[in-house]
Amino acid sequence: MATGKLASDYEAWKKLQALYQSKRSSYVLKDLFAADPERFSKYSVEFKTSAPAVDILLDYSKNLIDTEVLAGLFALAREANVEQFRDDMFAGKHINTSEDRAVLHIALRNPPVSEGGWDIKEEGATTGVQEVLAHMKEFSEQIRSGSWKGYTGKAINTIVNIGIGGSDLGPVMVTEALKHYSQRNLQLHFVSNIDGTDLAEVLRQCDPETTLFIVASKTFTTQETITNAESAKEWFLTSAKDKAHVAKHFVALSTNTEGVTAFGISEANMFQFWDWVGGRYSFWSAIGLSIAISIGFDNFREVLNGAHEMDKHFKSTKLEENLPVILALVGIWYNDFYGAQTQALLPYDQYLHKFADYFQQGDMESNGKTVTKDGSRVDYETGPIIWGQSGTNGQHAFYQLIHQGTKLIPCDFLAPAETLNPIAGGKHHEILLSNFFAQPEALAFGKTEQQVVQELGPKQSQNAALVKSKIFEGNKPTNSILFQKLTPGTLGALVALYEHKIHVQGAIWGINSYDQMGVELGKVLAKAILKQLPDPKDVTGHDSSTTGLIHWYQAHRNK
């Protein structure tokens, strides 16, 4: 944030605060819809592109907003220099100030300049990107066609991606989301947890002769990943014996050439990316190799292309019609003025069942910060807690609390107009979508006491407690996002939509959305504790709770 101000110093922020305090009781969805028959068309916007074909409708009319609130929110974005900050990112400026790095995952989905892409002003960003993409294409095609052979001459049929955080969640989410497009004879596994169970259970399903391990780690120093990769190599060598065979079965995705070669993977089997790709923004890079193998390089390219279309929209559309900006501002309204703590992501598409998990890292690691870029402590709420699950499963689990609990939970509902699995004559999809429409309606308009009484009839309505328990207060805000169909391009656009939303919110809060200092402390302490675990006498320097826990563990292990 160029101004060095806290968000709460902005005039627009103060105005929004005053609006919330003085007019909050008038933000009643029932009344707002009754007063304005045009509300849906006013507060919905369509994103449509032809290559790739993507059609996304964002309906944000069921939010506790009116024209005045919206004007205030857009004024806030302008006062916080959101447009400048966005342009700085696209220009390759070092907006990740604490690490002095550019933030250029957008360059990864940028087509070559010769194909109409714009020039990213960062050394090597376009040439390097295209080279790695070519390598990914070549390699993924070799695996998919069976021309890449394992050490006994058999084709690869099992892929194990070993990585954690950004080197796992993106590939997991995308390969699940685009399973429809996957080559079904290739088994895909993801090992992330240091818990040996994760690797052991996967290895049980693998044959060393036909398994490819993809070691995915930006830094190539992450304890979990390196330990899992070493154990996988040991398992492999038990059968393969000769270290020379590693070259046929292990590849690395990393920025750290030295670390990769020290592990025993040659540079030829390394797919590079760069420090300007944040871990949680990295599946667009070499980290997406497992995706390219699963769905084919052309489909992977479509994911990038869809994201690129959203990048262009974000970059050039005025704020009032800019989907990521709208999502960000509406989110800020609840997060900072209504005091909402969480944001639910609820895709009515089974293929998107990892979408909320993915954006838990995407959003919470980006915007879970307390200090601004210039080191001031914020006096407002920053990133929300992101959670969710695919519909309709969530309805039978936690929706009760969203409907009738005491907490305000803004929800984003997402659904495809067209299903990829129109089984039973499309019956399932119609039922699914009827729920997708019904839930935001129920959340917004609720059920009054009068309606409950009418339903229960005079006798049961004598029971006042029963009547009360059946009332839905309503006025719960939601966004509804409908898209044509879950194609690779659409997925790319949807992910970029949420990425840019995170960017805009971070810009307004004045925080650095692109570092993750908060993950470091625990890592350092764990390293120190690991050395103390063999002998109780070595357990020093801790509080009584930590010491007590470690001692209890030492007394109970291997019993």
Ligand X SMILES: O=P(O)(O)OC[C@H]1O[C@@H](O)[C@@H](O)[C@@H](O)[C@@H]1O
Catalytic residue IDs: 365, 396, 523
* Sequential DSSP letters for 334-387: IIIII---EEEEEES-GGGTTHHHHHHHHHHHHH--SB-TTSPBPSS--SPEEE
**C-alpha dihedral over 321, 79, 339, 473, to 10 degrees?**
-40
In angstroms, the CA 12 to CA 73 distance is: 7
Question: Which of 139, 436, 516, 539 is the binder for ligand X (CB under 6 A)?
Answer: 516
Distances (CA, A) of 268 to 47, 85, 257, 260: 41, 38, 10, 11
- Identify which of residues 236 and 514 has a Cβ nearer to ligand X in the complex: 514
Options 199-207, 218-226, 258-266, 373-381: segment touching ligand X (CB under 6 A):
218-226
b (16+ CB within 10 A) / e for 225-246: bbebbebbbebbbeebeeeebb
Please enumerate in sequence order all residues whose Cβ is within 8 A of that of 100, keeping only pairs 6 or more positions apart, or say none: 94
Question: Which of 165, 306, 331, 446 is the binder for ligand X (CB under 6 A)?
Answer: 165
Q: Quick one: tokens of 365?
A: 């690691």
Total residues interacting with ligand X, rule: CB under 6 A: 14
Check binding of 209 to ligand X (CB under 6 A): no
Question: Which of 279, 296, 306, 446 is the binder for ligand X (CB under 6 A)?
Answer: 279
Check binding of 164 to ligand X (CB under 6 A): yes
Options 165-173, 266-274, 388-396, 550-558: segment touching ligand X (CB under 6 A):
165-173
Residue numbers 428-487 binding ligand X by CB under 6 A: none
Check binding of 280 to ligand X (CB under 6 A): yes
- Identify which of residues 155 and 194 has a Cβ nearer to ligand X in the complex: 194
**C-alpha dihedral over 169, 161, 289, 323, to 10 degrees?**
-10
Q: Please, what is the minimum distance in Å from the beta carbon of residue 216 to ligand X?
A: 7
Options 1-9, 216-224, 485-493, 533-541: segment touching ligand X (CB under 6 A):
216-224
- Identify which of residues 279 and 306 has a Cβ nearer to ligand X in the complex: 279
Q: Please, what is the minimum distance in Å from the beta carbon of residue 366 to ligand X?
A: 9
Distances (CA, A) of 118 to 103, 121, 126, 237, 490: 16, 9, 10, 46, 21
Kindly list the strands in the beta sheet with 53-59, ordered across the sheet, starting from the edge strand earlier in the chain: 44-50, 53-59, 478-483, 411-416, 342-347, 385-387
Q: Please, what is the minimum distance in Å from the beta carbon of residue 399 to ligand X?
A: 31
H or E stretch covering 489: helix 488-509
Options 34-42, 52-60, 154-162, 163-171: segment touching ligand X (CB under 6 A):
163-171
Report yes or no: 69 and 27 within 8 Å, Cβ to Cβ. yes
Q: Please, what is the minimum distance in Å from the beta carbon of residue 163 to ligand X?
A: 6
Check binding of 167 to ligand X (CB under 6 A): yes
Site string for ligand X, 350-369 (x = CB under 6 A): ---------------x----
In angstroms, the CA 278 to CA 102 distance is: 9
- Token pair 């996957």 is found at 182
| Backbone CA torsion sign across 138, 143, 144, 150 | positive
Question: Which of 517, 519, 530, 533 is the binder for ligand X (CB under 6 A)?
Answer: 519
Name residue 145's amino acid.
Answer: S
Check binding of 217 to ligand X (CB under 6 A): yes
Q: Please, what is the minimum distance in Å from the beta carbon of residue 282 to ligand X?
A: 7
Q: Please, what is the minimum distance in Å from the beta carbon of residue 88 to ligand X?
A: 22
Check binding of 285 to ligand X (CB under 6 A): no
Q: Quick one: tokens of 202?
A: 């996967």
Q: Quick one: tokens of 125?
A: 């960003």
- Identify which of residues 60 and 281 has a Cβ nearer to ligand X in the complex: 281
- Identify which of residues 222 and 290 has a Cβ nearer to ligand X in the complex: 222
Q: Please, what is the minimum distance in Å from the beta carbon of residue 166 to ligand X?
A: 3
Residues interacting with ligand X, by CB under 6 A? 164-167, 217-219, 222, 225, 279-280, 365, 516, 519
